[in-house]
Structure formats: C-alpha cells, structure tokens
Structure 1
C-alpha cells in the first residue's frame, strides 16, 4: 500500500473500534479519544516504513534517513523485520515503556505524561502530513506538538489508549501490505523459502511464503486502482465517524 492509504486505513480502523456509529464499538471511547486516537493511529500506521529512507516517517524525523538506513540494515530492508509480528510487539512495548516517562511540575499533584505526549506528537505530525491536512513539515509538527501538549496538560487520562492505538496502527499497515503482491514477512526472522501456491481465482492469485513474505494480493500492486477504491471507501467511513465524534464533542458547548 501507499503511505496515504496506510494513514487512511489507520484512522478508519480506529473509528471502527472506538465508535458504534458508524463503527462496531469493540472498545468505545469518548469523542475526544476518537478524534485524537484517529490522528495518532493514522500516523502509527506509517511507522513500519521507518525501514525505508524515503518514507514519510523517515523524512519527518531529524536524522530520520540515517535511522531508516540503520533500521533497514538490521531488519533486512524495506518490508523486512519492521513488517512482522515481532515489530508489532516491540512497538507496543515501546509505547508502554514511554508511559513511565512522566513529570510532575513544582506545586502540582497531577503528573504530566511526557513520554506518551512525545509519541502522540510524532504520530499526529506524520499522519497529518501524509493525509495532506498540513502542507509542510513545520505545520504538521506544530499541529502534532500542540495537540499532544494540550492532551498532556488538560486531558492526561486520554493517553491510556496509546499503546493499543500504536499497536493497531502497526497491524493495519501489515494487513494492508499483505493485500498487495509484495507481501510482508509476518513471521520474521523465520523465513520459509519454498513457495506454496494456492488455487488461482479472479482476484486472488496466490498465498505464499516466498522469501519469507506472505501475501493475499487482492489489491494487486501497491497504488493500484483497487487500492484507491478501498482507500476512498475507508476515507468516507473514517470521515463519517470523525464528524460524528466532533459533533458530540461540541454539542454541549452550543447547547
């Protein structure tokens, strides 16, 4: 999948999980959690591509291209180890670890969740840039930093969902790439060598471990017309949930 599709998918899945209209409400949240979580999950759905020096997330971070090169070398290149179950677990554990990075200002009783705010700022900045909500990196980082700071300052309890949100974004990215011909190595570093061919159908050509990558390529190549149809549908779904959450959030203010 292309970066824009990944970001839209992340936002859509968060809406589906945390709302009942239009989602299924597996883990319902208040409107603020839906809105901020959608932005964070959109950015988190781009994080696996830190193994590519030209990816959105790599170009977003200071020294990101150097980091991406190092990660690529360690994990076997693009769509290597960063696109695996092991990476999902690592991302969740990293988010949990960041939850212990807190600061209590002098004279305050409430701790400020500094670590989660940093993670949220990065994800929101990357997501808003990729979704073209912000034109440039200065604007996207301003949005990310201000949004995360506001949550940290006034709504510190909102960060309880952050590890799940980042983990969900990672999984959405892997699922999206699995639906293309490139596939992903879900079981990395276990790398099956012998391809396993399945019966061909109209859209599904094969499901295989080839070079360790598994694929169910119903979308064809990344950027295909099938992918863009799916992205438009997911975008409309996400927009419906986001607008509904915004209305619920603002309703008490205008009542």
Structure 2
C-alpha cells in the first residue's frame, strides 16, 4: 500500500479504537499511531520514514532487505514485548502498535504479501491479494474503511458490518447448543419431590 493509505488507515483506526474504549483524543497518541503506520517501511530508504531516518533505514535494508523482519510475526512479537516491559509508556506504545498492525494488515492484502515466518522461510510470503498497490481497489478500500471508522464520531455510533448480525446469530445458536446460554426459562421447572415421611413406623423384620 502507498504511504498515504497507511497514514489514513492508521489514523482512522486509532480514532475508532480510542473512541470505542473511551480514550480522550490526544494529539501525541494520534501522532504515535501515524508513525506506527509508517514504521514497518523503515527497511526501505526511499520510504517516507526511511528518508527521514536514512542512515538507520539504509542499514536495515542492507542487512534484512525490504519486507523482511519489520514485516514479520517476529516484529509483532517484539512490539508486544516492548509494551509488556515498558508499560509506563503505554500511552505512546499502544497507538504505535495499532498503527503498526494496520500497516501489516494493509500489506497482507497486496500481491507482495508478508513474510510472516521470517527468518524461518525468508521467501515464503502470505498474501490475500485483493488490492493493487496504488490502484483504484486500494483507494476504494481505504476510503470505505476510513469513512466507516470516522462516521461513528459524527453519527453517535457505528453502523454494523453486513456480516455482523448473522455472525451474532451463529454465536448465540452455538452457545445455546453447548448450554452456555443458561437454562431455558420458557420451560417450567420440574416439580420438587417430597421427602419421605420419617414419622411413619418402619415394619419390623423377623
């Protein structure tokens, strides 16, 4: 995906996540989400972030190549480890990681895909190639996704996805079948059995 698409999706996603969890808008956190949405491309010297940090970007590019370690599951694990170890900076780390994940999610939808198993399988990329980088499909998907996320800020809530209601019905049916939904209150409870009368004399044996 293009850098502009990553920025739009990363920023809109953080808007959505922060609003959903009742987090007040913070310019610094929003900026961290934007930086996170560009961070995986630090391995390319000509990327938006790579041009700002060219010495670091050039070194990463020479050692790991483009779409290497920064686009792998190892990078995701590294982000989560940093969040776990430095919880005092969660105000910046959480939006950064949200932006980072949106970048990887966007690249996963392009033909180039992601080397999720790097370095075990360096040349094996996973992809759901439904978007063409810089093409109309990317622009349309970014516009629809960002528009849906931001619309809730002005409409007082978010409209449901088309598959959201059927999915809820499936989950409810599964819970009912497995007994997780609790007893059926429409059925009357079985009558309680009376305890035996202990006052009646027992027959003598012999």
Report the TM-score range of the alignment, normalised by the length of the smaller protein. Answer: 0.5 to 0.7
TM-score by length of 2: 0.66
Of the two structures, which has the highest relative contact order with CA contacts closer than 8 Å and spacing of 6 or more?
1
Q: CA RMSD in A?
A: 2.6
SS at match of 2:126: strand
Mapped partners of 1:95, 1:68: distance in 2: 23
Question: Do structure 1's residue 90 and structure 2's residue 78 form an aligned pair?
Answer: yes
TM-score by length of 1: 0.54
Matches within 5 A, 1:69-148: 69-75=58-64, 77-94=65-82, 116=89
Residue aligning to 1:14: 14
**Count of aligned pairs between the two proteins:** 156
Cα 1:223/1:66, change in 2 over 3 Å: same
Residue aligning to 1:52: 44
Mapped partners of 2:106, 2:93: distance in 1: 20
- Aligned with 1:32 (options 15, 25, 34): 25
Highest CA radius of gyration, 1 or 2? 2
Q: Please, which runs of 5 or more residues in structure 1 have no aligned partner?
A: 20-24, 101-115, 117-159, 193-210, 246-255
- Aligned with 1:212 (options 118, 124, 145): 124
Superimposed CA distance per residue, residues 170-198 of structure 1 (whole angstroms, 9 cap, x where no aligned partner): 11111100100011101211217xxxxxx
Structure 1 segments, 4+ long, off by >3 Å, are: 35-39, 91-100, 237-245
Q: Please, which runs of 5 or more residues in structure 2 have no aligned partner?
A: 157-206
- Aligned with 1:183 (options 102, 107, 113): 113
Contact persistence 1:183–1:217 (CA under 8 A): yes
Mapped partners of 1:172, 1:229: distance in 2: 16
Residue aligning to 1:161: 91
SS at match of 2:148: helix
